[in-house]
Structure 1
Amino acid sequence: MTGHVTPIRNAIVAASTTRFVDANGLRHRILTFNDDTVHDVVFIPGITSPAETVAFIAGAMPEYRFHVPDLRGRGLTEAAVAGQYRLIDYADDLHGVIEALGLQSAAVIGHSLGARIAAAWVVRHDINQVPVLLVDPPTSGPGRPPYPMAKQSFIAQIDAAVAGTTPEAIRAHFPLWPLRELELRAEILAECDRVAVSETHDGFEREDFFTIWDQLGSNVALLYGALSPVVPAGAAAELAARNPGIPQIAIPAAGHMIPWDNLSGFVKAARDALGSAPHPVTPSLTTSTQNRT
């Protein structure tokens, strides 16, 4: 995919380190924030969130070096062919990126789609030694209520972004967001591939998160918005009953987009879940993957 530089994006990219790696048959872009720290977090964003959208979260947690990939078909990561936007595809992308960057000791945080990806990665690749935080994973699926935002709404937002949307138009969908994040979304939403988003949204309805959840272990924690329609009270209760060993933290005054709705609440919960002692230090990243074009 091809990106264009816009004012907010330009500032974010200038303040981060850009890396490209080949993994799982695609070329992936990763932005790294807080590059002068030594405790690593891989943050997996949501369905229409290129890596730049995580900059403000990294800025609020400066003790961690954040590595944020563009998901397949978003930002500057290559798009896959139709039919390859399943959780297994995303999970293998994540595994390949982590291996390519030597981040096997890093904690992993996934938000929304990213939380589903992180969970699938844990199960598919038998990950049990690093902390994994699942932030408001969609609990829709076969026989369950649908994902709250319809696929047509996502596609309409992308089409509007391609035509030239505004922060005010974005605010209609995300009324609680800060202006800067609305402006950023208006700048980069057009870099989300329609097929990628459409097929991924289909997966929210077709792929069963609960069967993945049942297989997760004690290295996983769940953070969810107390007001989130994506993890409603009934779903949270069922998750607790099915896998009681996984701690759950409800973030007050937050819906699905937790860091955007209540950043301080998210940061406190994430720090608590990661524990007072950061995970092992990851050796310095090899220069061969830095700033490749």
Structure 2
Amino acid sequence: MSHFLYGYQVRANGVRLHLLRYGGQGPCMLLLPGITSPAITWGFVAERLARHFDVHVLDFRGRGLSFSGPGMDASLDAMASDVVELMALQGWAPVTLLGHSMGARVAIRAATRDARRIDRLLLIDPPVSGPGRRPYPVPLSWYVDSIRLAAQGISAEELRRYAPTWTDEQLQLRAEWLHTCSEEAIAQAHAGFHDDDIHSDLASLKTPGLLMAAGKGGTVLPDDLAEIKALAPGLTQCVVHGAGHMIPWDDEDSFYRLLGAHLEVEFL
């Protein structure tokens, strides 16, 4: 039986934000997806997490059914402000923030701005690029090319070359929803991977949690983990050795096992 309840909208930080809600029971969890992942593509994860949490999955501005428009501000600061105001408007406290990739960077910055509402961070393979650091391993063109193909009507099978390990259902969802990702928003986020200094945020982070890194893909390397351990000792670390950047897609069982061990619940 599905744990999906409904989709809804909130006006926060001057824009319309769309979310999906799963479960409705237990502590509040806000799930923040990555750079080209509308909320619905995380539904299979939210279904599992909803066994123990009241899960709300956000469509970031410029993605899915949230606000999108020419000239919009889709920077890290803007998205973090969206999250902070959303939590305040909804009266959520305490909140567990689970962020993947770009969403993990947003979670970190949001936690430095309003740590009072956030009791735990679950950071899944965040980009650790930034000023003076090695570039993010996936070029902007990879995202833009796939978005343009989706806008023309790409099939799930045609999309498989971009994500060869995904299931048919996961590819179908991506083919259906990828066109909702604004090229402008994605370009700003990708530039932010290189221009925003997330390490300075980590150094001031007070919120405890988990940092889960992918063993493949090159986003978070062992040296990065060592540096982050020194900057943010309150973050427990683990590695999913057989997975690439999209950890729940590549090794779903290990993702739930490690996440459940940290949260002291059972997802499998």
Name the residue aligned to 1:31.
20
Pick from 164, 172, 175: which aligns with 1:175? 164
Comparing both chains, which one has the higher relative contact order based on Cα–Cα distances under 8 Å and sequence gaps of 6 or more? Answer: 1
Q: Partner residue of 2:255? A: 266
What's the counterpart of residue 205 of structure 1?
194
**Partner Cα distance (2:115, 2:23) in 1:** 29
2:228 counterpart of 1:252:
no
Alignment partners' CA distance in 1, 2:131 and 2:70: 24
1:73-100 deviation per Cα after TM superposition (whole angstroms, max 9, x unaligned): 1111102653622211111101122222
Q: In 1, Cα distance between the equivalents of 2:138 and 2:5?
A: 31
Tell me the secondary structure at the aligned position of residue 16 of structure 1.
strand
1:42 is matched with: 30
In the alignment, does 2:162 pair up with 1:163? no
Q: 2-side partners of 1:127 and 1:80: how far apart? A: 32
Corresponding residue for residue 280 of structure 1: none
Q: Is the 8 A contact 2:52 2:265 kept in 1?
A: no
* Runs of 4 or more consecutive aligned structure 1 residues displaced over 4 Å after TM superposition: none
Alignment pair present for 1:66 and 2:90:
no
- SS of the equivalent of 1:201 reads helix
Structure 1 equivalent of residue 217 of structure 2? 228
1:195–1:258 CA distance, 2 compared to 1 (3 A): same
Task: Give 5+ residue unaligned stretches, structure 1.
Answer: 1-11, 278-293
**Distance in structure 2 (CA, Å) of the matches to 1:55 and 1:83:** 27
The question of 1:57 aligning with 2:45 is answered yes
| Distance apart, 1:34 and its partner CA | 1.9
- Can you list the C-alpha shifts for 1:137-158, whole angstroms capped at 9, x where unaligned? 0011111111111111111111
Opposite residue 46 of structure 1, the aligned amino acid is G
**C-alpha distance after superposition, 1:182-225 (max 9, x if no partner):** 11000000000110011111101111111111111252321111
Q: Give the TM-score normalised by structure 1.
A: 0.84
Q: Supply the distance in 1 between the matched residues of 2:120 and 2:91 (Cα, whole angstroms).
A: 16
CA RMSD, 1 decimal: 2.0
| TM-score, length-scaled by structure 2 | 0.92
Residue identity in the other structure for 2:145? A
Percent of paired sites with the same residue? 33
Structure 2 spans left out of the alignment, 5+ residues: none
